[in-house]
């Protein structure tokens, strides 16, 4: 940064007729200095890539553009070969699904990660998802992107934990993967489910790390926030405007949680849910609905806060138990792996206070890193034109990813 110019003499020296040797040497000096600086930069670069920490630092920096949809420049593609990709079958809970697995070609066995993408995820062949998976594989790790039939259809159910545990075991036993460096990572609801899976006794002692971006701590607390339009954290209450999509997703879970003797009501509400995808739910005679059904119907088109505590009280005990089981809050004692958390404070789908609560309640020594951001819409980066105002966030994102890559890559 230039802070000023040196003072100038008031006397003008005569223009030289020739260039003295001293002047020629002085003109060559900056060039020599530049060459020395370039040589020093090359030597530092070679030293960096000669160590695990240095290689990871370079890879992380080159991976950052892959975190943004439609990145015009992807430096990793210039210096790394395309990963090998295959479709794998994941068997769990008397059913099976497929996963997309990519890993670096050749070389020693690498660490890896199972990705969970949340409710109603992007399509399997979405260019951004493909770009992220390709970029992660180019940083020298195996990446298994699980295709969940339940989450794709909008259902958050306990067998999703079986699916993640099975995918984790499959990845650990793949011949191209180092079984000692495999983790779980998830976005949105997928982050919370990854935390629950990481605490599962079947795999918890083998999980190298677990990463959650934009996840929840307690599903019942999120439901209360959605219905009351309030965030409660650390003894304080603040206003919060939930996104219509999150109201829809949680209404969907409530409908599926209705008891079996309310099948007709469940079918009616599911039909209304489908109709309300593009416009407000149509008006109906709510007298035909149970008290819980009326509250769910109100949630479908709610623009004003409703009584969240009353809705939670009306939930059948089995439904409350399922919401609790699918929350990291119920599994803290089982977590062994280092936990990495990220959340955007402007998140309207899942409150950022959920990650704060999780960070505050994790067992001692488990939280590896927690960062809050102002550059995402839930888990998707904002317009790149806005990122110039988010330089501290970009630095924090780099540091967060570096810490994770340091564990999973070699």
Domain chopping of the chain, boundaries? 56-218+332-408, 241-323
Q: Coil, strand or helix: which one is 186?
A: strand
Residues 383-398 have pLDDT tens digits of 766 666 788 899 999 9
User: For 56-218+332-408, which CATH class?
Assistant: alpha beta
Residues 364-375 have pLDDT tens digits of 999 999 999 999
Spacing of C-alpha 208 from chain mean position: 17
Burial of 39 (0-12, 13-18, 19+ CB in 10 A): exposed
The dihedral region occupied by 162, where left means phi > 0, alpha psi between -120 and 50, and beta the remainder, is alpha
Tell me the β-bridge partners of 236: 233
**Would you tell me the crossing angle of helices 52-63 and 21-49 to the nearest 10 degrees?**
100
The dihedral region occupied by 52, where left means phi > 0, alpha psi between -120 and 50, and beta the remainder, is alpha
Q: Coil, strand or helix: which one is 182?
A: strand
Exposed e or buried b per residue across 282-293, where buried means at least 16 C-beta atoms within 10 angstroms of its C-beta: eeeeeeebeebb
User: Do 210 and 341 form a contact (C-beta atoms < 8 A)?
Assistant: no
Judged against a pLDDT cut of 60, whether residue 224 lies above it is answered with yes
Structure letter (DSSP) for residue 6: P
d(CA 200, CA 334) in angstroms, rounded, equals 7
Q: How many CB atoms lie within 10 A of CB 70?
A: 8
- CA torsion sign, 244 to 249 to 250 to 254? positive
Residue 72 CA neighbour count, 13 Å, CB half: 2
Tell me the β-bridge partners of 329: none
Judged against a pLDDT cut of 50, whether residue 16 lies above it is answered with no
Supply φ then ψ for residue 235, to 5 degrees: 80, 5
pTM of the model: 0.86
Residue with tokens 């949630």: 299
Q: Coil, strand or helix: which one is 63?
A: helix
Residues 36-91 have pLDDT tens digits of 545 544 444 544 567 888 889 989 999 999 998 888 889 999 999 999 999 999 99
pLDDT at 124: 93
Task: Give the residue ranges of DSSP H helices in 238-278.
Answer: 244-256, 263-275
């Amino acid at each position: 940064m230039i802070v000023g110019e040196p003072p100038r003499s008031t006397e003008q020296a005569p223009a030289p007729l020739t260039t003295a040797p001293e002047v020629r040497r002085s003109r060559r000096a900056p060039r020599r200095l530049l060459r020395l600086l370039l040589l020093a930069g090359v030597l530092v670069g070679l030293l960096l890539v000669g160590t695990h920490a240095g290689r990871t630092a370079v890879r992380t920096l080159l991976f950052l553009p892959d975190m943004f949809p439609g990145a015009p420049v992807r430096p990793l593609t210039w210096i790394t070969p395309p990963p090998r990709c295959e479709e794998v079958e994941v068997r769990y809970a008397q059913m099976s699904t497929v996963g997309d697995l990519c890993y670096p070609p050749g070389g020693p066995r690498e660490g890896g990660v199972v990705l969970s993408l949340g409710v109603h995820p992007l399509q399997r062949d979405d260019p951004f998802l493909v770009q992220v998976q390709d970029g992660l594989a180019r940083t020298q790790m195996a990446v298994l992107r699980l295709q969940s039939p339940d989450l794709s259809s909008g259902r958050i159910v306990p067998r999703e934990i079986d699916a993640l545990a099975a995918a984790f075991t499959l990845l650990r036993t793949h011949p191209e993967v180092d079984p000692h460096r495999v983790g779980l990572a998830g976005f949105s609801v997928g982050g919370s489910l990854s935390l629950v899976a990481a605490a599962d006794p079947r795999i918890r002692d083998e999980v190298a790390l677990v990463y959650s971006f934009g996840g929840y701590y307690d599903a019942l607390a999120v439901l209360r926030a959605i219905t009351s339009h309030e965030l409660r954290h650390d003894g304080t209450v603040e206003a919060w405007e939930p996104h219509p999509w999150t109201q829809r997703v949680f209404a969907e879970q409530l409908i599926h949680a209705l008891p079996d003797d309310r099948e007709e009501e469940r079918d009616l509400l599911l039909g209304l849910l489908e109709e309300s995808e593009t416009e407000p739910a149509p008006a109906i005679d709510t007298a035909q609905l149970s008290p819980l059904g009326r509250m769910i119907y109100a949630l479908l088109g709610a623009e004003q806060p409703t009584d969240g505590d009353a809705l939670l009280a009306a939930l059948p005990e089995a439904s409350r138990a399922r919401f609790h089981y699918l929350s990291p809050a119920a599994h803290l004692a089982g977590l062994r792996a280092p936990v990495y958390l990220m959340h955007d404070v402007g998140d309207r789908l899942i409150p950022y206070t959920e990650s704060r609560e999780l960070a505050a309640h994790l067992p001692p020594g488990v939280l590896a890193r927690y960062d809050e951001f102002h550059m995402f819409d839930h888990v998707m980066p904002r317009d790149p034109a806005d990122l110039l105002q988010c330089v501290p966030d970009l630095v924090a994102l780099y540091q967060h990813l570096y810490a994770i890559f340091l564990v999973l890559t070699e």
